[in-house]
Amino acid sequence: MRVVGTRDDVAARVEALGHEAVLCELIRTEPLGDEPIDASGYDWLVVTSANGAHELGRRGVSANRIAAIGPATAAALRGHGLQVDLVPATHTQEGLRAELSGRMLLAAAEGARRDVLDADFIALYRTVELPQEPDGDIALLMSGSAARALRTRLPVVAIGPQTAAEARRVGLEVVAVAAEATVDGLLDALASLS
């Protein structure tokens, strides 16, 4: 099976499952500033993507405690020498809401969901969609923006319920949704189709 994906590290794992990986850049990120982020006036700095973690690492940050939405975001934060104090059991904003209290600063992409957490917000980067028509049998989607940029009507596997909802909204057929919103969960969902 030819599996369309957006990341080199995921492509290697797709090939290890016995599929042909087709790399396709559907999105890119652009920084929205260079100044360090001061979250010291908050109980929690909440980071909801690896891209946000990389931006914080690039810019510098001071924070009392940091919450990461999932293991990939936590790993990216740790890769920049930042301590992660919480990764929720459920890797969604709803999971974060269930486990956090106090004053929060959400550091995320411009246009990120802001209807779940009761938090102040700072946009670290913008996501630019790069519409593509890749040739494959199925596509792996790791974000709603990637779903919007996919212009081929391939069946898709979504990393989580929000990505699946956005894929359906733009008319894509969602054939599987990861049970856990991680790369491992996404690949498990792909493997379940074989």
Angle at 188 between CA 75 and CA 108, to 5 degrees: 35
Structural domain spans, the chain: 2-26+131-191, 30-127
Per the listing, tokens 């920049």 go with 80
User: Cα 182 from chain centroid?
Assistant: 9
Cβ count within 10 A of residue 32: 14
Confidence of residue 74 (pLDDT cuts 50, 70, 90): very high
What is the spatial distance between Cα 111 and Cα 73, in angstroms, rounded to a whole number? 18
Give pLDDT, residue 127. 92
Give pLDDT, residue 91. 87
Q: What is the β-pairing status of strands 61-63 and 66-68?
A: unpaired
pTM across the whole model: 0.80
Decide if 2-26+131-191 and 30-127 have a common fold. Answer: yes
Lowest mean pLDDT among 5-9, 35-39, 81-85: 5-9
pLDDT of 16 above 80: yes
pLDDT of 174 above 80: yes
70 phi and psi, to 5 degrees? -160, 180
CATH assignment, 30-127 = 3.40.50.10090
Give pLDDT, residue 92. 87
| pLDDT tens sequence across 128-165 | 999 999 999 999 999 999 999 999 889 999 998 989 99
User: Cα 147 from chain centroid?
Assistant: 12
The CATH label, of 3.90.1150.10, 3.40.50.10090, 1.20.1050.10, 3.40.50.720, for the domain at 2-26+131-191 is 3.40.50.10090
- Mean pLDDT, the chain, integer: 94
